[in-house]
Amino acid sequence: MAEPLIVEVTRGPVVESRHEVDLVVTDATGRIADAWGLPDRMVLARSALKPIQALPLITTGTAAATSIDTRELALACASHAGEPQHLAVVTAWLERQGRHPRQLECGAHRPLHVPAADDMVRSGLEPTALHNNCSGKHTGFLAVCGHEGLDPQGYIAADHPLQRDHVTPAIEDLCRASLTGLEPAVDGCGIPVWPITLLQLATGWGQLSRRGAGQEILAAMARHPDLVAGTGRSCTRLMERAAGDAVVKTGAEGVYCGVDMRSGQSFALKVRDGAARAAEATAAWVLDRWAAIEHAAPLQLTNWAGRPVGEVKIAHP
């Protein structure tokens, strides 16, 4: 179908805003099972690619050689909220490598979890790279550099051996994409972000569930939903509700991916305008269709006085 999926934002009797979503679902063989909009649309997968970018931790032998545990693997795939449990894992993992937070090249931002950010304000502390939602992924990058004997400096560049010989080939392999000759954009945390099609992205997620290394990554995410995002956030809530039946990961600008661990079906979606609320509503709707969660109700919107004023819902699937 060429028509995108529509997510409506209502306010009282009115549809106030609407979002168009490209969504592709693949079956266990990687073929398209269902599609809305354009499966061949080029997208930047952003953080929805983290589980694939974490694969070199397994495939290089880094995880086995340095006793990386499931918490650390989950953090390597996380867009974490900077809560104490996230910082504890990243800090300890970095120390075990003999690395310093200064070596993380992701930049600093305050914790996404507001109470954690408030704690920093009260303590008079400035955010560091540890608080960046991508610090787990970057700590994983440093771990691979260490195991492979690579000078980590500049590890975020597309032509650094880490990206060139490990991370980018993992994307090409799982997503069945040829990235040679393409110009990458730059992600929020500084690493290259390659344009791939939505179908290639869904294919990559399906492949995760069919490879030993991918299964190890997905199992770690399923085991620690709270480490992949944080308190009250979409990925954490959906994976808690799915209780191991599905693994999901969102990305900036309205990307969301997931895989049904029982059937091997996978999905990838991109909201054309980049809105997270529409991506989250659609991901919940897909998991509901898979019966990986029970009844994904529309998101209720309330105003500042707590009065219900509208909702975010799938319009006409």
Taking the C-alpha atoms of residue 61 and residue 68, their distance in angstroms, rounded to an integer, is 10
The two structure tokens encoding residue 154: 């500049």
Site for its own copies in 199-238 (CB under 8 A): none
- Of 69, 95, 273, 294, the one binding its own copies by CB under 8 A: 273
Is 183 near its own copies (CB under 8 A)?
yes
Q: Give the contact letters, 98-137, x = binds to its own copies (CB under 8 A), - = no.
A: -------xxxxx--------x--xx---------x-----
- Give min distance, CB of 172 to its own copies, in A: 18
Helices (H) and strands (E) in the chain, counts: 14, 12
CB of 126 or CB of 240, closer to its own copies = 126
The two structure tokens encoding residue 293: 């969660």
With beta carbons less than 8 A apart as the criterion, state whether 267 and 255 touch. Answer: no
Q: What is the dihedral of CA 111, 215, 140, 186, to 10 degrees?
A: -70
Q: How does 162-187 read in b/e, with b if 16+ C-beta sit within 10 Å?
A: bbeebbbebbbebbebebeeeebeeb
Burial zone of 96 (CB within 10 Å; 0-12 exposed, 13-18 middle, 19+ buried): middle
CB of 52 or CB of 193, closer to its own copies = 193
Is 305 near its own copies (CB under 8 A)?
yes
Number of residues that bind its own copies (CB under 8 A): 47
Is 195 near its own copies (CB under 8 A)?
yes
* Interacting span for its own copies (CB under 8 A) from 92-100, 144-152, 202-210, 304-312: 304-312
Q: Which residues bind its own copies (CB under 8 A)?
A: 9, 11-14, 16-20, 42-44, 105-109, 118, 121-122, 132, 183-190, 193, 195, 253-254, 271-275, 278, 303-307, 309-310
